[in-house]
Structure 1
Amino acid sequence: MDLLKKCRAFTWADETRDVGLYPFYPAFQGPAGGGQVVLDGAEVCMLGSNDYRALSMSAQVIGAAQDAIALYGTSVTGSRLLNGNLDLHENLEADLADFFGYEAALIFSTGYMTNLGVVSALAGRGDQVFLDEKAHASLIDGARLAEASGAVVRRFAHTDPNDLARQLAASPSAASLVATDGVFSMEGDLAPVADLVAVCEDFGATLLVDDAHGVGVFGRGRGVIEQAGVRGRVPLLTLTFATALASQGGAVLADAKTIEFLRHTSRPQIFSAGLSPADTAAAHAALREVRRRAEAEPAALAAAAYLRRALDALGYDVVDSASPVIPVRFPDQLSMLSAHRLLAEHGVHTNAVLPPAGEGHQLRIACTDAHAPGLLEAAIGVFASLRQDLLPRYRRAA
């Protein structure tokens, strides 16, 4: 049997390119964050970036990265366990722990590897892992590794603490890890963190909140745990630097003994090169800026609320949410890909999402602090001018 036969049989990408609807791997000429970007030589409105606080091009963040390269070079050239650990890493970990209210933190090379490394290291034979059914792929894959080590993995209904409680009650004796996104990156909705905390405390389960899309935006920059009023009651917080912290990498926050255990047992930590000096310094500078702006409401939230209302008024099938993420649903793949292409041709970049079969298709829109009113009005004008081409008939406004 030829292992690579499946690769030669994969034709979807070529077929989609042939009809001019392929939506992935756009090559931007310049920064890909912020409110506007250059694509194919033309300036377009970026409605897909996760740079929620618009810090990826800030002078402070860029300067910190440049200074780190000048002092430390471009790479740590090894794993942190052996020769790739810098004072930059430890200083950032200390400030993360202080800002989010945990005893300690541990940096990984990506946010994906953070969840992969934490879940797979903590759960094994005899343990249970409960995932929100729409949890991020990194949590799912971490659970799969835990399952390979003997853990039992279960799913609970999306944002449903009652279903979680029912499942925990069915097997009360096993040690249990419950994992959820804080803000679900495709749906834009928030996890009911306070209710999940109460359920986990009732059943002695350990809660992990991946707040990749909530940190920097909610709870004075501290994310959905702070906003829910349960600071100090969520044992494990994971996050990425690739959203509001305008860099690369990720981190887990927990009590000091848990972090010490992960430092010596998490394979993605031990067997990967440490985060680069530039990425580490950039994330630290962004964290300082988020802390400085802690009392100010992120402009991204107001921008998203305004754009959501405008698209709904135009007749688009907009998913309601309270985050910067705005999913716009379409009935099938063709209509969604066609909408993506038309919007791009008229100067608006969105993210095309191809979810599992049976769950619909959508354009994922996201707002940042860089989306000033004039920029939003221009984008809304494009949606308005194209709505007869973009909207399915059953959603057309009168």
Structure 2
Amino acid sequence: MDLLEKCRAYKRVDDLRDAGLYPFFPSFQGPFEGGRAPLDGATVCKLSSCDYRALSSDLHVIGAAQDAVALYGTSVSGPRVLGGNLDLHSELEADLAGFFDYEAALIFPAGYLTNLSVVSSLAGHGDQVFLDERAHASLVDGARLAQACGAEVHQFAHARPDDLARMLEGAQTRSALVATEGVFSHDGEMAPLEELVAVCEGYGATLLVDEDHGVGVFGAGRGASRHLGVEGRVPLMTLTFSTALASQGGAVLADARTVDYLRHTCRSQIYSAGLSPADTAAAHAALRELRRRAAAEPEAVAAAEHLRRALVTLGYQVGGGIGPLVPVRFSSDLALFSAHRLLAEHGVHTDIAAPDQPDCLLRVVCTDAHTPDVLDAVIGVFANLRNDLLGSLQRRGEFTP
């Protein structure tokens, strides 16, 4: 079999398309505003965006991006370590470090690249990496790269500090990196950071917390670590700009020596072009807005709680934590994809859990833009379609989950 035979044999998406259930790569024709966005010639309520604070359409954020393009052009056209570094980059890093109370920060061209680079740069021969078994793919892939360089990689049971302690007790080396999400992107559950911090401190392990879905939402915008009272005890924090910071890119925050090491050893810093001027300026403007709003409870949290209560009352199986993500569980892939399509046909666009996750979850994501009137319309759709969504959904085509 030649290398590309696997591509020709891949039929999963063909089955979804034939059944009229293909949910991926929707083509929105305009911005996300007021909780809605244009899709396929109609305006839908968009509950599939992690723009938690609805800043992607904020005029200050848009203006900052436009001004940066006018002043610096569209691209830095080279790695930051050589000719692609801007004062915009350094200013954003300094402000990130100040806002999250770390000595230093380092930004990357993508959130995924941040975790991939940090884990693979810090862990290698003689080190051990311990991942929550539901950690984000970027952490998993960073661990795989570290493993290729000689690190040992282990997964501990999801949100189980006792299982991590058991593994660390039997570790052959004390040079260990522990990585988890602060708020899990899969279902919105918050990690038990207090217990994880205590275990890592007890065994001398270095803890990395990915705060992608905590920043802007919890702890006065500073994430789950602040919310749970362990700020100052998490040596490594990562975040993406594509959620509450309404941009592209990501960053790691740590002590100054660690950041300086990463700045000069991460291959992605050496061989990737720096973050674009527009993305850098947009992220910085969004950060300033988060700082301004720090004392106010995010409206996304109240919106999600309102939706969560309503869906439970209607009989849906709803999980998750206290944040903007409301996961709705279905019995099978067929039921999940059918529900997604049916909701979209009635003007409600939702998200679907990653295919490599074990649960059949419809992910309904609330933002500050989802006002009560918008959500009441969504709840009305869930109510009107309740029998179809929860009952025996009619098979479409020949799709077999």
Q: Which residue is equivalent to 2:377?
A: 378
The aligned runs of 1:292-311 (5 Å cut-off) are: 292-311=292-311
1:49-91 CA distance string (max 9 Å, x none): 1000000000100000000000000000000011000000000
SS in 1 for 2:233: coil
SS in 2 for 1:115: helix
Q: Which residue is equivalent to 2:279?
A: 279
Q: Which residue is equivalent to 2:313?
A: 313
Query: How big is the shift at 1:151?
Result: 0.3
Query: How big is the shift at 1:194?
Result: 1.3
5+ residue gaps in structure 2? 393-401
Query: How big is the shift at 1:360?
Result: 2.8
Please tell me whether residue 167 in structure 1 is matched to residue 163 in structure 2.
no
Please tell me whether residue 155 in structure 1 is matched to residue 155 in structure 2.
yes
Q: Which residue is equivalent to 1:332?
A: 332
Q: Which residue is equivalent to 2:190?
A: 190
| Native 8 Å contact 1:181 1:210 kept in 2 | yes
SS in 1 for 2:220: helix
The aligned runs of 1:13-32 (5 Å cut-off) are: 13-32=13-32
1:212-233 CA distance string (max 9 Å, x none): 0000110000001111111111
Letter in 2 for 1:387: R
Rate the CA distance shift 1:180–1:354 in 2: closer, same or farther, 3 A. closer
Equivalent-residue separation in structure 2 for 1:325 and 1:140 (angstroms): 22
1:323-346 CA distance string (max 9 Å, x none): 111111111111111100100000
Equivalent-residue separation in structure 2 for 1:134 and 1:275 (angstroms): 28
Equivalent-residue separation in structure 1 for 2:123 and 2:90 (angstroms): 26
Identity of aligned residues (%): 67
| Native 8 Å contact 2:128 2:173 kept in 1 | no
**CA RMSD of superposed structures (Å):** 1.3
The aligned runs of 1:74-153 (5 Å cut-off) are: 74-153=74-153
Query: How big is the shift at 1:356?
Result: 3.3
Query: How big is the shift at 1:101?
Result: 0.4
Query: How big is the shift at 1:15?
Result: 1.8
Please tell me whether residue 341 in structure 1 is matched to residue 356 in structure 2.
no
1:182-223 CA distance string (max 9 Å, x none): 100111100111111111000000000000000011000000
Equivalent-residue separation in structure 2 for 1:392 and 1:168 (angstroms): 46
Query: How big is the shift at 1:313?
Result: 0.7
Equivalent-residue separation in structure 2 for 1:210 and 1:34 (angstroms): 28
SS in 1 for 2:208: strand
| Native 8 Å contact 2:52 2:244 kept in 1 | yes
Q: Which residue is equivalent to 2:355?
A: 355
Letter in 1 for 2:335: S
Query: How big is the shift at 1:34?
Result: 5.4
Q: Which residue is equivalent to 1:389?
A: 388
| Native 8 Å contact 2:47 2:364 kept in 1 | yes
1:230-263 CA distance string (max 9 Å, x none): 1111000000000000000000000000000001
Q: Which residue is equivalent to 1:396?
A: none
| Native 8 Å contact 2:186 2:354 kept in 1 | no
| Native 8 Å contact 2:182 2:193 kept in 1 | yes
SS in 1 for 2:64: helix
**Segments of 4+ moved more than 3 angstroms:** 354-357
Equivalent-residue separation in structure 2 for 1:155 and 1:263 (angstroms): 28
Query: How big is the shift at 1:354?
Result: 4.8
SS in 2 for 1:102: coil
Q: Which residue is equivalent to 1:369?
A: 368
Equivalent-residue separation in structure 2 for 1:83 and 1:138 (angstroms): 27
Query: How big is the shift at 1:12?
Result: 1.3
Query: How big is the shift at 1:33?
Result: 6.5
SS in 2 for 1:328: strand
Equivalent-residue separation in structure 1 for 2:231 and 2:161 (angstroms): 19
Comparing 161-170 with 347-356, which one deviates more in the overlay?
347-356
How many positions carry a matched residue from both structures? 393
What TM-score comes out, normalization by structure 1 length?
A: 0.97
What TM-score comes out, normalization by structure 2 length?
A: 0.96
| Native 8 Å contact 1:45 1:375 kept in 2 | yes
